[in-house]
Chains A and B, each alone.
Chain A
Amino acid sequence: MVVDGIGASVKRKEDLRFLSGRGNYVDDMNRPGQTFAHFLRSDVPHGKLNKVDISAALKMPGVVAIFTGDDFTGVGGIPCGWQIHSKDGTPMVEPRHPVLAAGKVRHVGDPIAMVVAETKQQAKDAAEAIILDIETLPAVAGLTAALAAGAPLVHDEAAGNICFDWHIGDKAAVEAGFAKAHKIVRLDLVNNRLVPNAMEPRAAIGDYDVSSGEYTLYTTSQNPHVIRLLMGAFVLSIPEHKLRVVAPDVGGGFGSKIFHYAEEAALTWAAGKVKRPIKWTADRTEAFITDAHGRDHISTAELALDAEGHFLALKVNTQANMGAYLSTFAPSVPTYLSATLLAGVYKTPAIYAEVKAVFTNTVPVDAYRGAGRPEATFLLERIVDVAAREMNMDRVEIRKKNFIPKEAFPYQTPIALQYDSGDYMATFDGCLKAADYAGFEARRKASAAKGKLRGIGISTYVEACGIAPSAVAGALGARAGLYEVANIRVHPTGSVTVFTGAHSHGQGHETTFAQLVSEQLGVAHDMIDIVHGDTGKVPFGMGTYGSRSLSVGGSAMVKAMDKIIDKGKKIAAHLMEADVHDIEFKDGKFSVVGTDKAKTFGEIALTAYVPHNYPIEELEPGLEETAFYDPKNFTYPGGCHIAEVEIDPDTGTVSMISFTAVDDIGRVINPMIVEGQVQGGIAQGIGQALLEHAIYDESGQLLSGSMMDYTMPRADDIPNISVGMEVTLCTHNPLGSKGVGEVGAIGSPPAVINAVVDALRDYGVRHVDMPATPAKIWALIDAYHPKMAAE
């Protein structure tokens, strides 16, 4: 029996260093002889860069070097990792994204020059002495403005500011469904633009070793191997064996640290020029105008229903803001990560979606926790609620009527995906019960007695994660494989080091992965170390995003450990003079079936490294195995979230009363960590629904550009969050796990908004766009009583 194995709430290994101030984040690191960089950035949204005069700045104290766009003409642009084709078969418009602005600046924050100096302050002071001549050009910030006839162009080659105009699904089948509909419900929705705001700002150190000619980049990344691949192969032409990328402790990512950023390339390249390490740490203001933002979609949805409330067809038209340049995964977000999820948990037979991706003079937009799936879920769960009301049906009943039944798995949706397993009725009923949905009307009355408007909102969801089967992703436009890699090194005395391509930036991999090893090899926790985040140590990997670490990375570990056990059995058979087929491995022991002969895992490991009595003719010494695992399908977590809110009609303030989630994420390895992941995701979803909004004014200036202006969820904005599980196993990976990182952020926003709309049901409110701020709610209430408010 393994006490620390699968299913145990083992306390985290990483906590001791984090709790005692001994974490090792990039900004905590210092390299001998280090210099500091400061980036001078554009403060105009769109402009022609006539001149960058660095002559005075070069004379400032402590300045080592100053680089501008002209210095980078010989290197590649920042690449995009996913290519989408438009309806007419043409590839997306992919303008060059220079490392430092060349010729033009295209958003506030676009880097123009990099100053390298002996101290941080000297670099900053010198940047102020650079004289810029920028001719301001008209800019577009919002989707509607960018698509208007005659709008200024962000890139000359992108006519109408359109990056691609894509579609998916069977349009004719959808039209047929609409033709026979009893009712068609239409809804316009905005999915608000967000700033990820991981608490650790991005930071990086570029380093160059003059003796070996090797470059090292220390960076706040979720996927160091991906950065090495993108930056080495596409930007700087440094072969992999001369480029090491290290992502040590990283303080949260939520998607924003997946992407390859210009600063990484600039620092690495410049370190080779000045032959000294160069360190840069973003301040928060810089993070707001350079980290890729999230969401920013405008959609129109139409749902056709028959007289009984069965969904017949769904039609969606979305405009997605790409920002000024294409970030690493940006094109995949509104398309294959969003539109393909529009079936949700429902058996809607016909679905058609169109997506226009649009360039604007704003920070690039890319994946943020959930990436595309929160947008699809928000749209679907809102229109289902609107449909229920307009059909005079109960919100629970209409959902139950349309769920994909558990007997229908594997279920082929009409838009590409095949769900392997799930039981949506179980998570739904479980959540209704846990949230005491039946008792809500009494609570509504109690609130009304205090003059408060109480509402309850339900959301169900399914998401596709465990990214991704490489062949499928490749066919859809991914420019890389999406398998994961594990190397398991058993040391001579039986302790184990696991090298994984997944990266932990809060997920607790050092604990969860050790549980997998403990379970499978029977080794105690303190004899296991998990190594991640260093291309110099880990053979290869694709990193952590899309809730893939356990289902893809963990599966690679299982596969590598299977190989270890196979080899161990051969060694054991030799030592115990038995047939290898008679050797069984259980609880850390190799034994001969039906006898009391056994060898411990440690004895076998020692024999592998001290092969005095060893089948040396057939077997190499040593006990170390590597496995690449490429998933057969995506995984499909699903579930139900219920939010309860109370609105003060005098102020429009929404208070979160409670939040209940029942999710199906497949096999759970560490319930404590899983609950934490769900709670954190839900807090971000509540933030999106009630508080957060990245607002640009018409000219392209970011108005909510600091933590004073952008409302981050604080402890008193978030209620207690009750988390429950109803498990069906993933059918195609060895662990049966589906993934948990994103479910909270996907399921929660529509639950909150459905609750807000429910609370406002007596005020003729049909829909509220996020964030549901007091000003917005107050205006809706006020608009319903125009005379009283005027008095």
Chain B
Amino acid sequence: MPQISLTVNGKPASATVEARTLLVELLRDKLHLTGTHVGCDTSQCGACTVQVDGMSVKSCTMLAVQADGANVLTIEGLVNADGSLHPMQAMFREYHALQCGYCTPGMVMSAIDLVETHPEGLSEEQIRHGLEGNLCRCTGYHNIVKAIAAAWPLMHNKALPVAAE
């Protein structure tokens, strides 16, 4: 069975995996990082979203062996060393953008990617469109959209040029 080494949330990790093991299985079952969730089996829900080498990835759609040598960031790696929250996490709480919390880790990871890849600004429509790959059954998305719009200025250190509403 293949042996892989990678960096997860800034720390080195290694594991023996089957060739068919998915990245999400590696994270949850071998590395016990259970913050990353599995909500579907067809790459539809986004509950498993993480960053691999700075790119947003559905970790149910990537084999663990493909992450050999990669730098992976999961929801557990977002909290700062002093325990303070990433601005996106803080705004999710502020705007009540989570209920059962199951979609939340993937939603937060996707939202961060969305804000990071739109330094020019984000409209409400862009946010809604950008969340196409993430399902939430609880919130009706309303507060998630608000939270992301509120996190943009905090992450870019300036006012949001296109008002998200």
User: Residues of A at under 8 Å CB distance from B?
Assistant: 11-12, 14-23, 25, 27-28, 121, 197-201, 249-252, 254, 281, 283-285, 505-508, 672-673, 675-677, 679-684, 706-708, 712, 714-716, 718, 720-721, 744
Contact = CB atoms under 8 A, between A and B. Distances in A.
> Lowest 8 CB-CB distances: which A-B pairs, in order?
A21-B35, A251-B102, A18-B101, A683-B140, A506-B100, A506-B99, A707-B44, A28-B34
A198 B141 CA distance: 15
A514 B101 CA distance: 19
Given A680-B140, A682-B140, A20 B129 contact: no
Given A11-B96, A707-B44, 10 more contacts: A15-B98, A198-B137, A199-B103, A252-B137, A284-B41, A676-B99, A677-B99, A683-B141, A714-B131, A720-B165
A673 B93 CA distance: 12
B75 A21 contact: yes
Interface stretch (B51-59, B62-70, B142-150): B142-150
B157 interface: no
B40 A679 contact: no
B6 interface: no
Contacts of A15: 92-93, 98, 101
Contacts of B78: 20
A788 to B, nearest CB: 33
A284 B40 contact: yes
B131 A284 contact: no
A744 B139 CA distance: 11
A20 B45 contact: no
25 contacts: A11-B96, A18-B104, A19-B75, A19-B89, A21-B76, A27-B28, A27-B38, A121-B18, A198-B137, A199-B37, A250-B100, A251-B37, A251-B101, A284-B40, A284-B42, A506-B101, A508-B99, A676-B139, A679-B140, A680-B138, A683-B139, A708-B44, A714-B131, A715-B129, A721-B140
Nearest to A200: B102
A685 to B, nearest CB: 10
B154 interface: no
A714 B102 contact: no
Interface extent on B, as a size class?
35 or more
Given A11-B94, A252-B100, A683-B141, A199 B135 contact: yes
B99 A283 contact: no
B122 interface: no
Contact of B105 (A21, A281, A283): A21
B108 interface: yes
A502 to B, nearest CB: 15
A683 B39 CA distance: 19
Contacts of A720: 124, 142, 145, 165
B138 A715 contact: no
Given A20-B35, A23-B35, A197-B137, A12 B105 contact: no
B140 A252 contact: no
B40 A707 contact: yes
A28 B34 CA distance: 6
A20 B137 contact: no
Nearest to B103: A199
B137 A676 contact: no
B138 A506 contact: yes
Contact of B135 (A250, A708, A712, A721): A712
B139 A21 contact: no
A721 B128 CA distance: 14
B139 A284 contact: no
Nearest to B75: A21
A21 to B, nearest CB: 2
B25 to A, nearest CB: 9
B82 interface: no
Contact of A200 (B79, B89, B100): B100
Contacts of B49: none
A25 B105 CA distance: 13
Given A707-B45, A708-B44, A20 B101 contact: no
Contacts of A677: 99
A682 B137 CA distance: 11
A481 B49 CA distance: 43
B127 interface: yes
Contacts of A672: 96
Contacts of A22: 35, 76
Given A11-B94, A252-B100, A716 B132 contact: yes
Nearest to A197: B137
A633 to B, nearest CB: 28
Given A676-B99, A715-B132, A21 B34 contact: yes
B99 to A, nearest CB: 4
Please indicate which of the listed interface residues A18, A21, A25, A285 has the most CB atoms of chain B within 10 Å of its own CB: A21
Please indicate which of the listed interface residues B42, B103, B108, B141 has the most CB atoms of chain A within 10 Å of its own CB: B141
B155 interface: no
A718 to B, nearest CB: 5
Contacts of B72: none
Given A19-B89, A706-B41, A718 B102 contact: no
Nearest to B139: A680
Contacts of B124: 720
A283 B24 CA distance: 14
Nearest to B95: A672
Contacts of B139: 676, 679-680, 683
Contacts of A673: 96
B123 to A, nearest CB: 12
A744 B39 CA distance: 24
Given A16-B93, A20-B79, A716 B41 contact: no
A721 B142 contact: yes
Contact of A715 (B42, B104, B131): B131
Contact of A19 (B85, B100, B136, B140): B85
Contacts of B144: 715
Nearest to A283: B41
A344 to B, nearest CB: 24
Contact of A21 (B45, B74, B100): B74
A675 to B, nearest CB: 8
B154 to A, nearest CB: 15
A506 B135 CA distance: 15
A23 B101 contact: yes
A198 B100 contact: yes
Contacts of B89: 19-20
A350 B13 CA distance: 71
A21 B33 contact: yes
Contact of B42 (A11, A28, A706): A706
Given A25-B102, A720-B142, A199 B35 contact: no
Interface in B93-119: 93-94, 96, 98-105, 108
A28 B132 CA distance: 26
Contacts of A676: 96, 99, 138-140, 143
A321 B44 CA distance: 29
A249 B101 CA distance: 9
A37 to B, nearest CB: 15
A19 B135 contact: no
A27 B28 CA distance: 9
A706 B98 CA distance: 24
